[in-house]
Amino acid sequence: MNRVRLLVLNAALGPLDYRVPDDLHVEPGSVVVAPLGPRQVLGIAWESERLPGTEVPDARLRPILDVLPVPPLPAPLRRLIEWTADYYCAAMASVARMSLSSSAALRGGGTITEYRLTGVMPSRLTPQRDAAISALDGEQGTIRELADLAGVSEAVLRGLVNTGVMEPVVVDIDRAYPPADPDHAVPTLSDLQTGAADRFVDAVKARKFAPFLLDGVTGSGKTETYFEAVAEALRMGRQVLVLLPEIALTENFLKRFESRFGVPPVVWHSSQKQSERRRAWRQVAEGGAQVVVGARSALFLPYANLGLIIVDEAHEVSFKQDDGVRYNARDVAVMRGRFEQIPVVLASATPALESLQMAEAGIYEKVDLPSRFGEASLPEIAVVDLREQVPPRGRWLAPPLVAGIEERLERGEQSLLFLNRRGYAPLTLCRNCGFRFQCPNCSAWLVEHRLSKRLACHHCGHEVPSPSQCPECGEADCLTACGPGVERIADEVAQIFPDARTAVVTSDTLSNPEKIAAFVDAAESGAIDVIVGTQLVTKGYHFPELTLVGVVDADLGLEGGDLRAAERSYQQIAQVAGRAGRASKPGEVLIQTRHPDAAVIAALAAGDRDAFYAAETDARRHAGAPPFGRWAAIIVSSEDEAEAREAAQNIGRAAPRLDDLAVFGPAPAPLSLLRGRYRYRLLINARRSAALQQTIREWLDPMEFAPGVRIGVDIDPYSFV
């Protein structure tokens, strides 16, 4: 009798036992299809001793139906799934689903039919056909993908296929990627860079777990340094994973990678074509994808032969996932390195305090790149005190910043204005009756987007066209924009310097790789004088003519009750300051603030990073905050306000009373209504010695809630809204 225990990919179910028919081969990690009542479920064969379940007598076992034609999930990945579920109080099935994230790939290899233009023009040219033909020049994809791309119906494209304007192309899904060449263009490194690169290369050769913190100022050449470790892994025939915090950064990275290794790396992110995603998944699982560059979800892919993990911009908040499995990809990457027995490099110019602490404790090896590469020097940083240098009424740029931009325009250099706020204005109100535009689904104001003529909620995506009159009192021309967003700053620049060429850079304007590439080309060729952007422009870019960075409102990030507000402000401003003077021309940074004495601002102005980290360390130690203590949050939500409140209060009443752990709340969340759900939060502050996760499980597991209530546990939270 051959039996198998399955981790079933359904978070509501525990492990289930099945019989393996004689004609099927199952080993730990095999992905199988099994019957569940009248339905079928996906499951992963697991070591039964590691997955406790109720033993079902042999006679009652149902047979599994099929083993999918993919390599079994390797043991290190199975250990990572177990660890992640345990640490983040998540269901193992939810974590495992992130590994099997291309359902198409699981069905095995094969071919798909894609379509492309033949060059033949149709005898009858309708406006839709005309639009499709110009949009699809050089494109290839499935009918649905091309219809989306061209903004026409699938029927229009099928018509073009029938008339020979488009032709089918049979594509092998599993085709290999062109190989990267470790010796394609070996750069000349500085002595410092060589020293750092050697340590990473040695670690790759050693095939052992080795966590590094690569701490280098912006422009010090961190990427070139870790590229040498990538090259070594390539020579050894092992795979490399490079995690980037945002897809927007990928474009620039791809260019640099291709010029170093001759071909682009394999890309993994959520907005890829299904066929690309499926191909990438299978090549990852079979070892053919040599270097994978991706967002955090690439971390759980089933690499056949992983040899190195790089986490670039490792301090970035976007590595923390705040829905579904609430994990921090930076921390999970280190654990994956441990299970795989490989080196992990966390690279940053402004490391998280947690990472610095690990280096100080000797757990991470710290590698420093303290100076800029080549002729570039660190920019001059000055504070503009907005209490003394007051911008004109209705404007946001103070005289010194305006003068700085003017100088750059005269010299033909570029300026970058940073404001971490999308849209035109964060609040719109009626001058006549005081009405404020609020999201119907969230406790948040609607943000005016003048470029797209809409009011939008940045939390749920709710949008309405910008109205011409007040919906409350009916007055026309009475709506006033309050406060600035990047679009408004760009307007101000256009009013002061009508001839300046301005680009607004946000996730709204750079919404796909093509738009990002077009922006980078324009900025590099000098076709843009003033860039106005959100945190999207704070990292990764290297524009030689960019010599002035203006931080429009340095106080913005310090508002609100975020435990990491000071650190995040410091990181953002230091990162954006790092965009100035990256080539031979020196850079200047002007920071507009009403609080020049705040520790963050003073440390930035003095260029004294150590002072900032020392002050922040003291504050965190005093508050028992990470890394000296631990936080966890419990988020309770329901579409019914009373139901949510009651569930939260019950959790509060059942809170454990322990010496090494304090529970605060429940309290309505700052975003007390989000996507139509009412929300309450509890915050737990624990000493490092506390068994935090176990306590939370023992606390919540026995509790029962109304069916509409959702309970989320957030270990090491980054978001407090």
| CB 393, min distance to Zn ion, A | 23
| CB 484, min distance to Zn ion, A | 21
| CB 469, min distance to Zn ion, A | 8
| Residues pairing with 549 in the sheet | 416, 589
Q: Looking at beta carbons only, is 305 or 432 nearer to Zn ion?
A: 432
Q: Looking at beta carbons only, is 286 or 472 nearer to Zn ion?
A: 472
Q: Looking at beta carbons only, is 116 or 462 nearer to Zn ion?
A: 462
What is the C-alpha to C-alpha distance for residues 379 and 306, in angstroms, rounded to an integer?
Answer: 39
Three state DSSP letters for 584-629: CCCCEEEEEECCCCCHHHHHHHHCCHHHHHHHHHHHHHHHCCCCCE
| Paired sense of beta strands 239-243 and 291-294, if any | parallel
Q: Match 């009412």 to its residue by tokens.
A: 678
Q: Convert residues 378-417 into a mask of x (bound to Zn ion by CB under 5 A) and - (unbound).
A: ----------------------------------------
For residue 218, give Cα distances in angstroms to 73, 370, 581: 38, 9, 11
Q: Looking at beta carbons only, is 471 or 560 nearer to Zn ion?
A: 471
| CB 680, min distance to Zn ion, A | 18
Q: Is 61 helix (H, G, I), strand (E, B) or coil?
A: coil
Q: Looking at beta carbons only, is 209 or 435 nearer to Zn ion?
A: 435
CB 428, CB 481: distance < 8 Å: yes
Among 75, 135, 433, 606, binds Zn ion (CB under 5 A): 433
Say which residues have a Cβ less than 8 Å from residue 464's Cβ, sequence separation at least 6. Answer: 446, 454, 455
| CB 323, min distance to Zn ion, A | 15
Peptide bond into 182 cis (omega under 30): no
Q: Looking at beta carbons only, is 52 or 474 nearer to Zn ion?
A: 474
| Residues pairing with 674 in the sheet | 677
CB 655, CB 699: distance < 8 Å: yes
Secondary structure letter of residue 317 according to DSSP: G
Q: Looking at beta carbons only, is 442 or 601 nearer to Zn ion?
A: 442
Q: Is 456 helix (H, G, I), strand (E, B) or coil?
A: strand
| Of 199-207, 439-447, 632-640, 682-690: span binding Zn ion (CB under 5 A) | 439-447
Provide the token pair at 427.
Answer: 């609040």
CB 51, CB 5: distance < 8 Å: yes
**Rounded (to 5) percent helix, strand, coil in the chain:** 35, 25, 40
Instruction: Judge residue 168's burial from the number of C-beta atoms within 10 Å of its C-beta, 0-12 exposed, 13-18 middle, 19 or more buried.
Output: exposed
Among 274, 432, 438, 650, binds Zn ion (CB under 5 A): 432
Provide the token pair at 411.
Answer: 């010299």
Q: Choose among 65, 19, 26, 22: nearest CA to 44.
A: 26
| Of 302-310, 442-450, 595-603, 650-658: span binding Zn ion (CB under 5 A) | 442-450
| Of 82-90, 294-302, 356-364, 436-444: span binding Zn ion (CB under 5 A) | 436-444
| CB 452, min distance to Zn ion, A | 16
Among 87, 209, 435, 705, binds Zn ion (CB under 5 A): 435
Instruction: Judge residue 507's burial from the number of C-beta atoms within 10 Å of its C-beta, 0-12 exposed, 13-18 middle, 19 or more buried.
Output: middle
| CB 578, min distance to Zn ion, A | 34
| CB 462, min distance to Zn ion, A | 5
| CB 479, min distance to Zn ion, A | 8
Q: Match 């000296």 to its residue by tokens.
A: 628
Provide the token pair at 512.
Answer: 């796909």
Q: Looking at beta carbons only, is 88 or 437 nearer to Zn ion?
A: 437
| Paired sense of beta strands 210-216 and 343-348, if any | parallel
Among 441, 649, 650, 719, binds Zn ion (CB under 5 A): 441
CB 518, CB 565: distance < 8 Å: no
Q: Looking at beta carbons only, is 346 or 430 nearer to Zn ion?
A: 430
Q: Match 């008339």 to its residue by tokens.
A: 163
Q: Can you count the helices (H) and strands (E) in the chain?
A: 20, 29
User: Segment 87-126, which members bind Zn ion (CB under 5 A)?
Assistant: none
Q: Looking at beta carbons only, is 435 or 699 nearer to Zn ion?
A: 435
Among 31, 333, 442, 516, binds Zn ion (CB under 5 A): 442
Q: Looking at beta carbons only, is 179 or 434 nearer to Zn ion?
A: 434
| Of 23-31, 203-211, 300-308, 426-434: span binding Zn ion (CB under 5 A) | 426-434
For residue 555, give Cα distances in angstroms to 424, 504, 550: 19, 21, 13
Among 383, 439, 590, 644, binds Zn ion (CB under 5 A): 439
Q: Looking at beta carbons only, is 152 or 644 nearer to Zn ion?
A: 644
User: Segment 449-478, which members bind Zn ion (CB under 5 A)?
Assistant: 457, 459-460, 462, 470, 472-473
Q: Looking at beta carbons only, is 263 or 464 nearer to Zn ion?
A: 464
If one counts every other C-beta atom within 10 angstroms of the C-beta of residue 178, the result is 9
Instruction: Decide if residue 207 touches Zn ion (CB under 5 A).
Output: no
Secondary structure letter of residue 247 according to DSSP: G
Q: Looking at beta carbons only, is 192 or 644 nearer to Zn ion?
A: 644
| CB 535, min distance to Zn ion, A | 21
Size of the site for Zn ion (CB under 5 A): 14
Q: Looking at beta carbons only, is 230 or 457 nearer to Zn ion?
A: 457
CB 103, CB 97: distance < 8 Å: no
| CB 461, min distance to Zn ion, A | 7
Say which residues have a Cβ less than 8 Å from residue 544's Cβ, sequence separation at least 6. Answer: 524, 582, 583, 584, 585
| CB 465, min distance to Zn ion, A | 16
| CB 468, min distance to Zn ion, A | 12
For residue 452, give Cα distances in angstroms to 79, 353, 439: 47, 39, 18
| Of 56-64, 266-274, 424-432, 660-668: span binding Zn ion (CB under 5 A) | 424-432
| CB 362, min distance to Zn ion, A | 46
| CB 640, min distance to Zn ion, A | 18
Peptide bond into 666 cis (omega under 30): yes
User: Segment 468-527, which members bind Zn ion (CB under 5 A)?
Assistant: 470, 472-473
Among 197, 345, 430, 634, binds Zn ion (CB under 5 A): 430
Q: Looking at beta carbons only, is 105 or 479 nearer to Zn ion?
A: 479
Q: Is 507 helix (H, G, I), strand (E, B) or coil?
A: coil
| CB 467, min distance to Zn ion, A | 10
Q: What amino acid occupies position 464?
A: V
Binding site for Zn ion (CB under 5 A): 430, 432-433, 435, 439, 441-442, 457, 459-460, 462, 470, 472-473
